[in-house]
Each structure stands twice: as C-alpha cells, then as structure tokens.
Amino acid sequence: MAMEALGTAGASPAIRGLSTMRALFRELVRFSRRNTLAAIGGLVGLFIIFVALAAPLLAPRDPLKADFRRMNKPPDAQSLLGTDQVGRDTLSRVIYGARTSLFVAFSAVILGTTVGSLWGVACGYLRGRFDLYSQRIMEILQSFPDLILAMAISMAIGTGLQAVIFAIAITRIPFGGRVIRSVALSVREMPYVEAGRASGASAMRIMALHVLPQCIAPYLVLATTHLGVAIVIEAALGFLGVGVPPPTPTWGNMLADSITALVPPWWLAFFPGLAITVTVLAFNLLGDGIRDTLDPRLSPAFLRMMAGGRRG
C-alpha cells in the first residue's frame, strides 16, 4: 500500500483515490482469503447493519401498530414470522430491533472503549500516582459482573435509550483502560518517544502524536470484540425489563413479551433470539479475524489476562 501511494503521488486526486480504493480492495481480498470465517462474519455484520439502516424500507408493517384481529398468529403468508400478543408483526419488529440493538451496542462500545483507551494512554504514559489510583478505580469497576453493574447504573439514571447506552459504556471502560495502558507502557520506552521527550515536547503532544497512533490497532480489536458482548448485555437488560423501555422494539423486549404469555408462542421466543445469536456470532468471528491479522499478541488469552485475570 505504501508503494502504491508513492507511485501515484504525482497523479491527480481522482486517480490517487481510485488506486487507494483498489489497494484497499486487494487488502480486503487477502484478508478474506486468509480468514474466511471472519470475512463471512464481516459480510453478515454488514448485512445486519444494512437491515438496521434500511428498516423503514424493509419492514412489511409498522412495528408499533397493533392489530387486534390478528393476535398471536403463527407464521403465515400475511406475517412471515407471526404476530405477538397485540397483533404486531414479528418480522417488522425484528428488523426494527436490529436498529435499537446496533445503535445501543455501537454507541456504548465506541463511548466506553474510547474513554477507557484515552484513560489507558494517560495511565501508561504518565505512570506514577495517577496510574496507581486509576488502576484501583478500574479494579473496582471490574469487580462487578457486567450485567449487574449495567442494571444498577441504568436503575440510578433512569431507563431510557441513553441510560442503557451509558450503563453499558461504563462496563466497557476498564477493558479499554487495561489493554491500552499496557500498549502505552511499552511504547513510552521506545527510542523515538524518548527522542521526542529529549527535544522538549510536552507530555500531551507525545501522547497525542506518538503514543496514540500505536494504540489504533488494539483499539479496533477491542471495539470489535466487545460489540458482541454489548449486544448481549442490551438484550439481557431488555429481557429483564430494565432495558430500553417498551414499546420500542428491541430483541430483548420481544423475548420478554414472549415469556409473559401463558403458553409462549414459539415464533416470538425463537426469532428475536436467533437474530441476537447471528449478530453476536458475526461480530465475534469478525473480531477474531481482525485480532489475528492486526495483533497476534492480543490473543483471547492475553486479552482476558488483561481483562482481570491478574488483579493486585
């Protein structure tokens, strides 16, 4: 890729753009050939993102519209995945559920991992007392099981979309913090960072220009690995009745609806869960592939060691 950039340095921006696109495409093909599963995961992930974005075009019916003449109907030609206890179309609700799920998961992971990573860079670079206290705080955050911490936080700040995003984001902070801190710790000892310090650059400048770029690969790995976890937490919160409040269609809420029925309709219990599983599977496979490609050091073993295997 570097060669390509050099070779087209003098060409017009359009041609250069085209050639970078082509290089990117070639890179993607190579990635897919080496990680078939990850590529499939990526494609499925893209498809689900597409479904979420195009929900109003794809959904056959309004996901909130009740139809009391067609309640608890099993799948048939009129509603492919059946209807729920007030006659809402399950297929439409699953499609709109993708919207809520992905929106919450992406926002929470990006927010949590970014805050955690910036914090981790500061800890790893500055060391000293700041690092010591920060590590204690992260340890405290990691002493709670994810789902339980998310429940407590969303209870305190109210159960809305933002509360759920915020609650899940907080549970992601220490993971970013620990992994990125270890990267920053090793980067700060590199000669080029030392050179920066020697030439009088401020800590802020070194962190922003020299340490941060080194953290991009592990950041991407972390973010993709945690997407699946975030989706499951969101669904579990909805399932327990403490997530994004109804009538917003979310996969977790739909599962909760199905369980309250005396004789639970199987289609209402099956399809939303299938949607969760396929989505989580897709992002997990993609995450594994990205990790293998970008940073073999971040094997699951390493990540989990950092995540809390060794405390104190």
Partner 1 sequence: MRKYLTRRAVYAAVTLLGVSLSIFVILRVLPGDPLVAILGVEGHAQMTPADRERIMADLGLSDPLPVQYVRWLGDIASGQLGKSFFRGDTVAELILHRGPISAEIGVLSVIISWLVGLPVGILSAFKPNSVPDGIARTLSVLFIAIPGFWLGMLIVLALLFWFGYKAPIIIVHVWQDPWQNLQIVIGPAIVLGLAQGAYIARMSRSCLLEVISEDFVRTARAKGLREGFVVMRHALPNALLPVITISGVLLGFVLGGSVAVEQAFGVPGLGRALVAAVIERDIIVVQNLVLLYAVIFVAVNVLVDLSYAWLDPRIRYG
Nearer to partner 1, 9 or 156 (CB): 156
How many Å apart are CA 258 and CA 269, to the nearest integer? 6
Nearer to partner 1, 46 or 140 (CB): 140
The Cα angle at residue 170 between residues 168 and 173, in degrees rounded to 5: 115
CB atoms within 10 A of CB 57: 8
In one letter, which amino acid is 16?
A: R
**Cα–Cα nearest to 125, from 177, 185, 180, 189:** 185
The minimum distance between CB 154 and partner 1, in angstroms, equals 9
The minimum distance between CB 4 and partner 1, in angstroms, equals 35
**Interface residues with partner 1 (CB under 8 A)?**
136-137, 139-149, 151-153, 155-158, 228, 232, 235-236, 239-242, 255, 258-259, 263-264, 266, 269-270, 273, 276-277, 280-281, 284-285, 299-301, 304-305, 307-312
The minimum distance between CB 123 and partner 1, in angstroms, equals 17
Task: From residue 94, give the alpha-carbon distance in Å to each of 160, 251, 267, 269.
Answer: 20, 7, 11, 12
The minimum distance between CB 139 and partner 1, in angstroms, equals 5
Nearer to partner 1, 56 or 300 (CB): 300
Nearer to partner 1, 200 or 312 (CB): 312
Residue 143 burial by Cβ neighbours in a 10 Å radius (0-12, 13-18, 19+): exposed
Residue 76 burial by Cβ neighbours in a 10 Å radius (0-12, 13-18, 19+): exposed
The minimum distance between CB 22 and partner 1, in angstroms, equals 33
Phi, psi of 89 (to 5 degrees): -75, 120
Nearer to partner 1, 29 or 137 (CB): 137
The minimum distance between CB 192 and partner 1, in angstroms, equals 31
Nearer to partner 1, 51 or 232 (CB): 232
